[in-house]
Amino acid sequence: MQTALHIVVCAGIVPDPLQTLEPITTPAGPGLKNEMVLPAVLDPWAASALYEAAVLAAKAPGSKVWLVSLGPKAKLQQVMMTVAQKVAFELAPIDGPIGGFPDAHATAAVLAETIAKLPGLDRERLLLFGGWESATRGAGVTLQLVGERLGITDQFQGVDQVNLRDDGSFEVLERVEGGKHQVSVCAGAPAVLGWATGNLAEPRNNPQVGMANMRTIMPALQKAPAVKLEANGLSYISVALPKQQRTTRVVKDMSPDEIAAELAAWIGAE
Instruction: Say how far apart CA 179 and CA 162 lie, in whole Å.
Output: 18
Would you give per-residue pLDDT tens digits along the chain (270 residues)? Answer: 567 899 999 988 888 777 777 777 777 667 677 777 777 888 888 889 999 999 999 888 889 999 999 888 888 888 898 889 989 999 999 988 776 677 788 888 889 999 999 999 888 999 999 888 777 655 678 888 899 999 999 999 888 898 988 888 889 988 888 778 889 999 888 999 998 887 888 888 888 999 998 999 998 888 888 888 776 666 666 666 667 667 777 888 888 898 899 889 888 875
> pTM for the full model?
0.80
Nearest to 198 by CA among 5, 43, 66, 45: 45
* In the chain, domain spans: 6-222
The CATH superfamily holding the domain 6-222 is HUPs (3.40.50.620)
CB proximity list for 81: less than 8 A, separation 6 or greater: 210, 214
Instruction: Say how far apart CA 210 and CA 238 lie, in whole Å.
Output: 42
- What CA–CA distances, in Å, run from 8 to 31, 34, 50, 126, 176? 28, 31, 9, 7, 25
Predicted pLDDT of residue 12: 85
Is residue 148 a contact partner of residue 190, using CB atoms and an 8 Å limit? no
Is residue 72 a contact partner of residue 23, using CB atoms and an 8 Å limit? no
Amino acid residing at 83: V
